Amino acid sequence: MLKRLRAVPRRLYDWTLQWADTPHALAALALVALAEASFFPIPPDVLLIAIVAARPAAWLRAAAACSAGSFAGAAVGYGIGAFLMAAVGEPIIAFYGAEHHWDRFVELAGQWGIWFLAAAAFTPIPFKVATIAAGATMMPLGPFLATTLLGRAARFFLVAGLLRIFGAPIRRAIESHFELATAVFLLLLVGSYLVLAGVNC
């Protein structure tokens, strides 16, 4: 089972490369970014890297599609937290086994507001949990949407821009050391959780 779970990101990456040169690549990227901001576990950066590495000239459109999809997904996540927490939000939190982190996320979202959201938008902090927590704490919608758009666009345009400049070496490194790249991302994710757990303790 563990071996199968580890193979999922690799299969997703390979599947994305197959679509990278098709007219549907950017639409697929936007949909994955939308899903990731509200419930999906795979970060859209993996798809963004694959598409820009295959089509460097499309880096601006890819970053824009990823940003737009994530922005829409954040609104969905906010709606889940605000209006569907019991029916949808709690099962999502339970699916990721994050029940014991949930109170901390809600506390941070309520205390730090848009600064917590900005950190989640730009770093490996699970963005779906942040958007649901923002809705659950009824963060003002206007600042929520503005911070989401700025934070996610900054992250995705930075990733796409770096890929545009250093695309070939980065793509070769990812394909040769994909498991290592995945492990580094997971370490960053765990590190983010530890930082959050240590705030105001």
Backbone angles phi, psi at 126, to 5 degrees: -55, 110
Residue 20 neighbours by CB under 8 Å, 6+ apart: 50, 51, 53, 54, 55
Residue 20 falls inside a structural domain: no
Q: What does the pLDDT read at residue 109?
A: 72
Question: What tokens appear for 11 in the block?
Answer: 């299969």
Residue 58 falls inside a structural domain: yes
Q: What does the pLDDT read at residue 106?
A: 75
Residue 123 falls inside a structural domain: yes
Residue 4 falls inside a structural domain: no
pLDDT means per 10 residues, the chain with 201 residues, are: 48 66 85 87 80 86 95 94 87 73 72 76 75 87 90 88 76 61 54 52 48
Q: What does the pLDDT read at residue 41?
A: 72
Residue 117 falls inside a structural domain: yes
Q: What does the pLDDT read at residue 20?
A: 65
Q: Quote the CA–CA distance of 65 and 34 in Å, as a whole number.
A: 10
Q: What does the pLDDT read at residue 172?
A: 67
Number of domains composing the chain: 1
Residue 169 neighbours by CB under 8 Å, 6+ apart: none
Q: Quote the CA–CA distance of 126 and 120 in Å, as a whole number.
A: 7
Note down the domain range covering 48. 25-198
Q: Quote the CA–CA distance of 130 and 118 in Å, as a whole number.
A: 10
Residue 173 falls inside a structural domain: yes
Residue 7 falls inside a structural domain: no
Q: What's this model's pTM, rounded to 2 decimal places? A: 0.73
